[in-house]
Structure 1
Amino acid sequence: MNATKRHHLICLVFLLLTGMACQQKKNPLETAGKIAVRWELVTNFTDEKDVFDARFQLTNHSDLELDDKNWALFFNLAPRRILENKTEQFARLHHINGDWYALRPDKGFTLLPGKSVDISYRGVEAVIKETDRPLGLYFVFYDDEGKEKKIVNVVEYTWKPFVSPDQVNRNEKDEEPIPTAALAYQNSLDLTDISPSAVTPIVPSPVSLVMDKDSVEMDHTWSIYFEKGLAGESAYLAAALKEATGLDLKILPDPPQGKAIRLRQAPLTVNGVTHEAYTLNIAGNGIDISGSDAAGVFYGIQSLRACIPLKSYANKSGTLRLPNLRVKDAPRFAFRGLHLDVSRNFQTKETILRTLDLLSFYKINRFLFYTTEDEGWRLEIKDLPELTEVGAQRQHTSGKEAPALHPAYGSGPFSKEEGRYGHGYYSREDFIGILKYATARHIKVIPEVNFPGHARAAIKAMEARYERLMGEGKEVEANEFRLIDPDDRSVYESAQGYRDNVVCVARESVFHFYEKVTDEIAALYKEAGLTLDEFHTGGDEVPEGAWTKSPMALELMRLHPEIKDPKNLQTYFLSELVKRLKSRNLQLDGWEEVALAKKGDGKYEPNAEFVDANVVPFIWNNIFDYPDLGYRLANAGYKVVLCNVSNFYFDLAYSKDPQEPGLYWAGFVDTRHSWTFAPYDMFKTTKKNSLGQKLDLEAVNVYEKNKIIVEHLKPQARKNILGLEAQVWCETVKGRDMLEYYMLPKLVGFAESAWAAERPWETVADKTQREKLIRDGWNVFANRLGKRELPRLHYLNSGYNYRVPPPGAIIDNGELRANVEYPGLTIHYTTDGTEPTLASPHYTKPVVVKGPVALKSFDDAGKASHRVNVSLE
């Protein structure tokens, strides 16, 4: 190669390398994903009352220089009011809407590559859980004109653990103790191990159960016989036995010659109850299940399943040995429900079916399916495709005014992103399948469409429809289902931080929309072979200020002066809804506000208007401003369902442990809370307020500065308590495993409260005697949980993700002492810093240790709790 060619080649290589370097310089955004974010709660105790201090740290590992115009960090944060910072800041938090926030730079901000910056902020109400941390973080980068150029998920996101009391306590009034191994040990000292014979196999407890020492062995020579009308129940039983034990039995419609399980219907009343009553007899000559109806037979089957020994689940030998026993049983309440929110975070159809299986096993017969909310519309509706095209997914938007759903609960900036839970819906076929599956398990599905508040997903979907049709020149069609007054300038903020989630009740199109949706859902029930006769209207949490500056609403009030005040438009909406849906023969359920009217001072009182209108309020408030609300409404003549927040809100965390996921705005709920409930005298079992402070609602003059006496349930109003419902709101629930963890084993305690006969302690007036009876009763139930229910959940339906409580432990004078919340669990420990396993030393009695100890609880199926640590200090 001559010199000239060599020179040209060198120049070419130089130009190529220079071009590559220039190209890298021209595209620093390609490295924007390397910007790291760290978050820290500093303290909940600042110089301002009920104000916390937190901070972000941004570390720029990218090649992009951040300035005061070219970036913003978006995320979701449990809705809290953010305060103006008192000191000079580099960037500030801005609340956009709901739980959607942005961190935006102040004028003069700069962050060079390789540098870090701390940005502090303050907010109202404490932050005590890791699930409170900012979620779904992403950067949006802008060009010189302020237009969005690129959206990038934050990949490197870390947070500091909550370790100090000022990070775990909420304020100076917080009396809920911080969970420790020592506290758990102290709380479990009253528990004792009871004999296996005292641990009856069936939960919820039947009215009568008599066992003897004999047993019967089933094998493939047995069969299942069913009378007319019980074909579905017999098929269900056969499939359940085969799945659990490998035992494959023939199903016969004619009386068998040999040993068999015999399913029959017969007139039956147990404890004064006929519907769903059953008897179960297991003896050497066979098994007989009789029910007053098909549902009773089905619950007899579930009790039979409950008698299957755990080893049969594990071995699947194709044979089964059952104890001889006689059961008579019927439910305490006709309504035993679970509410599940799939709008905040979506759950798949398969998860819903697993949940229905779980409910049926514990004899829960109502499923309130919460498929619409501010953050998502989850049900396909014929002729309204935008409800799912727009309302069933969330993504970054230009702002809250866009006809789309912005990110919420960590759903991130991109719709349908894998591993997120902001998108998803049930097709018409999915929903029909769910209805059929539930019906086969004697569960009634109650759909809910929440109006006039909590309606943002519907509003945005219908705005997208409006814009589409207006673009096509179809103004009449565009307005057919529109839900807002476009000239409304009302200022409000909902409990979840929304400023645009209330429909305009003065629009005829709002009622037209509701009727359309109701009729389409009714059509789905019809396709499933059912009749829709119960519909939940929501009706809760309409914020103060709604409709106050809506020209349409003000005109409506001019035409109807009896409304008097915009706050009464909520009642007007329900009144109109009742009239319009009357011809459809629907029972209208709703949250407690549907049965209340606001007085001039803003306080609620029972509204006599809907007492005889087939309106059923579901009551959650039992520890705040209206602790007797359920009884007040029942005494006023309303049929009510009790959903007490202090006992049955499963989305509230099991404990105050920062790593224990869940909410805590109303305190904490564990399995003992869901078990310890006296439906007809709930003041006996409402022991704490949301801050762990002692409540004594049995006394008189207990709230509102001793001016009001709590109203007890009148004997004649007992019939108005239809039943009980547990709630799972899913703001913090991500996916199936978390859902099951939140529910289990709380659901088992709830089932006992909803089905089992009145417990002896419920009617005891003397507190000391009652507390002893509660302790004794709980001890028996805790043994059931540890020895039967938890390990069985490992096998049912291929295994549920239930919570195993961690052990309690102390080191006292060099001795390790440990115990468990549910007798029957075992404790394993290590002293070398490694993770305890079933192969680790088994704790059975106090043992001398010389340093830190790590411990875990295990059930008989081998499932473990989280780890706890204790030390000599």
Structure 2
Amino acid sequence: MRFLVFRIGTMLCLLLWCGAGVRAQSPASPPLPLIPYPASVQTGRGTFILSAETRLVIPKKGLFAREADQLQQLMARALGQPLRTAKKGNTQVLVLQQATDLTKPEAYRLQITPERVVLSAQDPAGMFRAIQTLRQLLPVEAEQGGLAQMSLPAVTLEDAPRFSWRGLHLDVSRHFFGVEYVYKLLDLMALYKFNKLHLHLTDDQGWRIEIKQYPKLTEEGAWRTFNNQDSVVMERAKENPDFEIDPQHIVKRDGKVMYGGFYTQDQMRQIIDYAAARHIEIIPEIDMPGHMMAAIQAYPFLTCTESAGWGKTFSVPICPCDERVLTFAENVYREIIDLFPSSYIHLGADEVEKTTWAQSAACQALMQREQLESVEELQSYFVHHMQRFFHANGKKLIGWDEVLEGGIDSSATIMYWRSWVKDAPLKAAQNGNPIIMTPVGTLYFDYAPDQNSLDKVYHMPVVPADFTAQQATQVLGAQANLWTEYVPSEARADFMYMPRMTALAENVWTNRDLFTSYEQRLVAHYPRLARLGVHYRVPDLTGFTESNVFTEAATLTVHKPLDNLTLHYTTDGSRPDRNSPTLTGPLRITRSDTIKVAATTPEGLIGETYTIRYRKETFAEPVAVAAPQPGLQVSYFPAYFRNTKGFADSTATQVTTAPQLEVPALVTAPSFGLKFRGYLEVPATGIYSFFFTCDDGGVLRIADRVVVDNDGQHGPVEKSGQVALKKGRHPFAVDFLEAGGGYTLKLEVQPEGQAPQPVPASWFSH
């Protein structure tokens, strides 16, 4: 009897840039443990011994004075004392020097010989990047100190970034994060050479920055009673403590439990200074005209109806037709402009519920006066007004890609996130706008990570494939966003960022595909992250599927990605922890059972909990099919559904065929359901493993048995299952839904000993 392994996977996403890029070979010699990897690496012979006897030589001009201080802090932490300085020296010295031949921004050179270490750059930012590279070459113990000396390999590195925008985003509105966590995030960003932090400071759920002219924005808008998102994470916290709401942000007021917080302007200045010392620019976002409920509840005059509320999808926005509202917006942003030195201001301008505008007599009058034909143009009117205000105050506007819809000035920077609006980047490029890539399907880090996440982030083409060489120059770079509706704690934020942010760091810095090398180098970074107190996501366990079947007996074998992990398991339904039984080898299964497995690190981190189900079943008999036709029958339901049960008894508007499991071209609705029906012909009797990836939800049935249940609304998630099949044709059914925002549907086969490949279309019939 043959046992074949299949991976389900044909990706049908609406990302404009889906496609393969040129991939260079990984270096033949073992790579240095650096992320992102430098542009040029030439290894030498020998090592440099860095100790308290080493002298620091810095330029007289003071050009790198702040960077020298940062280096001394690193040395003091590692060696217990800073290095003594010297005016010059040829041996046992660490030298910072200016190099006018390094003309690219942030470029640096690092030369290590057994006699000396020389860090060269033309500008302070380049010198700071060089110091971070040096830091990664130091032993991980340097992060906590107590070392007498440290060994550095002889090497010459020359390096410069691929893109000027290498960003992360943190939403502090849905759940608040204190000053110390922002410092921690900035330190991590510096280590991996990020240079932009986008702070989403306001939204419906909370206003997080002090505005002195409107004190109620934080007195009232920064606090809330627990909402429906909070209740979700509270429920999840029963199983996973990462979801526990931080008690330091909970207070009692007038007998009520209130949750929230905000940054004073003085605190924000300290954050900005901390970032600037690490050559990171902080970009503030005050989201207007939508997502403003926290402000509207404090100042109801801001809406056309003078009350807060919800429309069909989003909250009621502020009213762009009222001069009082425009004055409010300008006053708020005037304080923001005075506070933040960044040349950019992010207006937001996304997901605006425009129903109250359409119903407002004042808005209708303004539209007639300004010859605006739609509420989309009315939004553009507001955006243009704010853009002129920003320009008058020396700032550049950034907006989410919705700002393109009513027309936008070419000087605005477009942040492209709606991967289902696949022509938006090209429209922005044709309009002359600078572009930052932050696609929802790949770089929204609030989507749960899985075993494919690092590969997807690493290989996401930052420049769309259909851009001309000139249009490619308009792409500033890329950014990962962390929206925090369901990220209530610092531990959970760490988990969602790390290690995915390392894959993005290399994507936007290193102009080569070194993914295999990157995976090797990443292993060396986990101990450093642990010493830095980062609650990173433990790498995935492999070697099993989530839902398994057997006819007589089965063996559970779990492969560890890191040697220092300890596996723990339970069979009573509880979440494994360090006190649970240890799984030291293969586990024989002889009855239907559910086993939960998790890995723990020496530092105490607990990885994902894997629920592995075993079910004893017989081989499904094949069915006879008279005159089968190629492909699958597809029924189309263009409507919004929460799960596949929503269209189970519905009548399809159209029925067509598809050669395999793929979304037909006739599908144009932003939200829809699909039923795929037909037969799957397997070439041999065996137990087949399926890995089903979909966004949003899907259910896979084969031989009238549920093989994988991946239902519900979520990002791209892979789930797996098995079914016992005899050779021949078996009923095949997939129910799939897309709730809006771009879809993914995967169907790949991995024959034993081979790489994953698409299931041959010839296996499908109906």
Q: TM-score range by the shorter chain?
A: 0.5 to 0.7
What residue is the counterpart of 2:329 in the other structure? 514
Alignment equivalent of 1:356, drawn from 186, 204, 211: 186
User: How far apart in 2 are the matches of 1:865 and 1:257?
Assistant: 48
User: How far apart in 2 are the matches of 1:830 and 1:555?
Assistant: 67
What residue is the counterpart of 1:780 in the other structure? 517
Change (3 A) 1:544 1:825: farther
Change (3 A) 1:493 1:250: same
Change (3 A) 1:579 1:850: closer
User: How far apart in 2 are the matches of 1:314 and 1:533?
Assistant: 36
The answer to whether structure 1 residue 677 and structure 2 residue 460 are counterparts is: yes
Alignment-mate amino acid for residue 65 of structure 2: A
Listed one character per residue, the Cα deviations across residues 203-237 of structure 1 (whole Å, up to 9, x for unaligned) are 01110112245222211111322222211111111
Greater share of strand: 2
Change (3 A) 1:737 1:830: closer
What residue is the counterpart of 1:819 in the other structure? 559
Q: Which segments of 5 or more consecutive residues in structure 2 lack a partner in the other structure?
A: 1-7, 13-25, 235-244, 616-766
TM-score with structure 1 length normalisation? Answer: 0.60
The answer to whether structure 1 residue 750 and structure 2 residue 547 are counterparts is: no
User: How far apart in 2 are the matches of 1:732 and 1:430?
Assistant: 25
Alignment-mate amino acid for residue 647 of structure 1: T
Alignment-mate amino acid for residue 453 of structure 1: G
User: How far apart in 1 are the matches of 2:426 and 2:105?
Assistant: 25
Give secondary structure in 1 for the equivalent of 2:357: coil
User: How far apart in 2 are the matches of 1:298 and 1:849?
Assistant: 54
Distance apart, 1:855 and its partner CA: 4.6
Listed one character per residue, the Cα deviations across residues 446-489 of structure 1 (whole Å, up to 9, x for unaligned) are 111111111112222223xxxxxxxxxxxxxxxxxx42234689
Alignment equivalent of 1:241, drawn from 75, 93, 115: 75
Distance apart, 1:672 and its partner CA: 2.2
Equivalent residues in 2 for 1:647-796, closer than 5 Å: 647-655=442-450, 670-681=453-464, 712-759=466-513, 777-785=514-522, 787-796=523-532
Distance apart, 1:408 and its partner CA: 5.7
User: How far apart in 2 are the matches of 1:304 and 1:281?
Assistant: 10
User: How far apart in 1 are the matches of 2:27 and 2:106?
Assistant: 31
Give secondary structure in 2 for the equivalent of 1:216: strand
What residue is the counterpart of 2:281 in the other structure? 444
Change (3 A) 1:732 1:487: closer
The answer to whether structure 1 residue 865 and structure 2 residue 686 are counterparts is: no
Give secondary structure in 2 for the equivalent of 1:327: strand
| Contact 2:44 2:156 survives alignment (8 Å) | no
Listed one character per residue, the Cα deviations across residues 174-230 of structure 1 (whole Å, up to 9, x for unaligned) are 9999xxxxxxxxxxxxxxxx9996242110111011224522221111132222221
Alignment-mate amino acid for residue 671 of structure 1: L
What residue is the counterpart of 1:319 in the other structure? 149
Distance apart, 1:306 and its partner CA: 0.7
What residue is the counterpart of 2:396 in the other structure? 587
Give secondary structure in 1 for the equivalent of 2:296: helix
The answer to whether structure 1 residue 610 and structure 2 residue 431 are counterparts is: no
User: How far apart in 1 are the matches of 2:166 and 2:180?
Assistant: 22
| Contact 2:229 2:486 survives alignment (8 Å) | no
Equivalent residues in 2 for 1:313-712, closer than 5 Å: 313=143, 316-395=146-225, 409-410=230-231, 417=250, 422-463=259-300, 482-486=301-305, 492-495=311-314, 498=315, 500=316, 502-525=317-340, 531-560=341-370, 562-597=371-406, 607=407, 609-611=408-410, 614-622=411-419, 624=420, 626-655=421-450, 670-681=453-464, 712=466
| Contact 2:224 2:258 survives alignment (8 Å) | no
Alignment-mate amino acid for residue 517 of structure 1: V
What residue is the counterpart of 2:537 in the other structure? 803
The answer to whether structure 1 residue 307 and structure 2 residue 144 are counterparts is: no
Alignment-mate amino acid for residue 576 of structure 1: H
Listed one character per residue, the Cα deviations across residues 110-144 of structure 1 (whole Å, up to 9, x for unaligned) are xxxxxxxxxxxxxxxxxxxxxxxxxxxxxxxxxxx
Listed one character per residue, the Cα deviations across residues 393-428 of structure 1 (whole Å, up to 9, x for unaligned) are 1138xxxxxxxxx77634999996359994100011
Equivalent residues in 2 for 1:256-271, closer than 5 Å: 256=89, 259-269=92-102
Change (3 A) 1:424 1:669: farther
User: How far apart in 2 are the matches of 1:563 and 1:363?
Assistant: 45
Distance apart, 1:818 and its partner CA: 3.0
Listed one character per residue, the Cα deviations across residues 313-345 of structure 1 (whole Å, up to 9, x for unaligned) are 577323211212111100000111111110111
Change (3 A) 1:829 1:347: closer
User: How far apart in 2 are the matches of 1:669 and 1:388?
Assistant: 40
Alignment-mate amino acid for residue 98 of structure 2: Q
User: How far apart in 2 are the matches of 1:387 and 1:680?
Assistant: 39
Change (3 A) 1:491 1:437: closer
User: How far apart in 1 are the matches of 2:571 and 2:312?
Assistant: 53
Q: What percentage of aligned pairs have identical amino acids?
A: 26
Alignment-mate amino acid for residue 608 of structure 2: H
Alignment-mate amino acid for residue 780 of structure 1: S
Give secondary structure in 1 for the equivalent of 2:392: helix
What residue is the counterpart of 1:48 in the other structure? none
Distance apart, 1:861 and its partner CA: 5.4
Listed one character per residue, the Cα deviations across residues 480-533 of structure 1 (whole Å, up to 9, x for unaligned) are xx42234689983334xx3x3x011011122212221222123224xxxxx342
User: How far apart in 1 are the matches of 2:443 and 2:431?
Assistant: 24
What residue is the counterpart of 1:702 in the other structure? none
Q: Which segments of 5 or more consecutive residues in structure 1 lack a partner in the other structure?
A: 1-172, 178-193, 397-405, 464-481, 526-530, 598-606, 656-667, 683-711, 760-776
Change (3 A) 1:855 1:323: farther
| Contact 1:490 1:546 survives alignment (8 Å) | no
Give secondary structure in 1 for the equivalent of 2:109: strand
User: How far apart in 1 are the matches of 2:580 and 2:307?
Assistant: 66
Q: Which of structures 1 and 2 has the larger relative contact order (alpha carbons within 8 angstroms, sep 6+)?
A: 2
Listed one character per residue, the Cα deviations across residues 153-180 of structure 1 (whole Å, up to 9, x for unaligned) are xxxxxxxxxxxxxxxxxxxx99999xxx
| Contact 1:332 1:754 survives alignment (8 Å) | yes
What residue is the counterpart of 1:210 in the other structure? 42
Listed one character per residue, the Cα deviations across residues 71-91 of structure 1 (whole Å, up to 9, x for unaligned) are xxxxxxxxxxxxxxxxxxxxx
Change (3 A) 1:588 1:869: closer
| Contact 1:488 1:550 survives alignment (8 Å) | no
Size of the aligned set, in residue pairs, is 566
Greater share of helix: 1
User: How far apart in 2 are the matches of 1:489 and 1:863?
Assistant: 43
User: How far apart in 1 are the matches of 2:388 and 2:141?
Assistant: 57
Change (3 A) 1:200 1:374: same
Change (3 A) 1:814 1:577: closer
| Contact 1:375 1:457 survives alignment (8 Å) | yes
Listed one character per residue, the Cα deviations across residues 651-701 of structure 1 (whole Å, up to 9, x for unaligned) are 00114xxxxxxxxxxxx972222112122246xxxxxxxxxxxxxxxxxxx
Alignment-mate amino acid for residue 343 of structure 1: S
| Contact 2:98 2:123 survives alignment (8 Å) | yes
Give secondary structure in 2 for the equivalent of 1:809: coil
The answer to whether structure 1 residue 201 and structure 2 residue 22 are counterparts is: no
What residue is the counterpart of 1:706 in the other structure? none
User: How far apart in 1 are the matches of 2:605 and 2:201?
Assistant: 32
